[in-house]
Amino acid sequence: MWSNNIPKFKGILWSVLRFFIKEQYSFDIDYHTSSSFEYFGVRFINGIDLLNNQIDKAIHDTLDLDRKHELKQLKRSTSRKFSGTTIACLSRITIYDYSKPPNSRIVTDIDSIVLKYNDQKMILELHESKNTRNPFNVAKKDLKNKLIKVLNPNSKGYFIKEVKGFGAKVVIQCN
């Protein structure tokens, strides 16, 4: 019943992301090969959770160790208590600049996206995971050199937050 609404929540997530990305850039999900889990999930304020079980399935079914690491970072973020609705994309998101030649169009990627909102605030998290010895430093550098450059002025006030043992995330909060 609730899972039929997932496309609507994808639309919400995509609209919010579009609001913060410069107009010259396009984006789309990287389609994963496993059909055992969804690309998007949602956890409602009333406790109905169509998200974390999907993340668990994705972690279990994914063979790529770096992708498992990325999904574990996503799980850490979506498992935190939040008094509102949480929507997430379990797939990587690639950002393109179609004004460039085909072999130069990929600008960057986002390992996962989380949107948390209630009647008082909205928080958008853009995750960058690094499966290295110093994941925060490497992820922070990657975010500053690539992702921050595609954000528009609507994202002013963003900050980069460490996700211990995993990497970093850009947090955009609107009150």
Instruction: List per-block mean pLDDT (blocks of 10 residues) for the chain, which spans 175 residues.
Output: 62 94 92 69 89 92 91 94 93 94 95 95 96 95 96 94 96 93
Task: Quote the domain boundaries for residue 50.
Answer: 2-174
Single-letter residue type at 81: K
pLDDT at residue 128, as a whole number? 97
Close Cβ partners of 53 (under 8 Å, ≥ 6 residues apart)? none
- Determine contact, residues 167/139, Cβ cutoff 8 Å: yes
pLDDT at residue 95, as a whole number? 96
Name the token pair of 54: 């999907």
pLDDT at residue 1, as a whole number? 40
Distance CA 165, CA 175 (A): 29
pLDDT at residue 38, as a whole number? 80
- Determine contact, residues 110/147, Cβ cutoff 8 Å: yes
Name the token pair of 24: 């010259």
Name the token pair of 140: 């922070």
Burial status of residue 52 (CB atoms within 10 A of its CB: 0-12, 13-18, 19 or more): middle
Helix (H, G, I), strand (E, B) or coil at 53: helix
pLDDT at residue 32, as a whole number? 58
When divided into structural domains, the chain yields a total of: 1
Which of 158, 58, 74, 54 is closest to 114 using CA atoms? 74
Distance, CA of 26 to chain centre: 15
- Determine contact, residues 42/9, Cβ cutoff 8 Å: yes
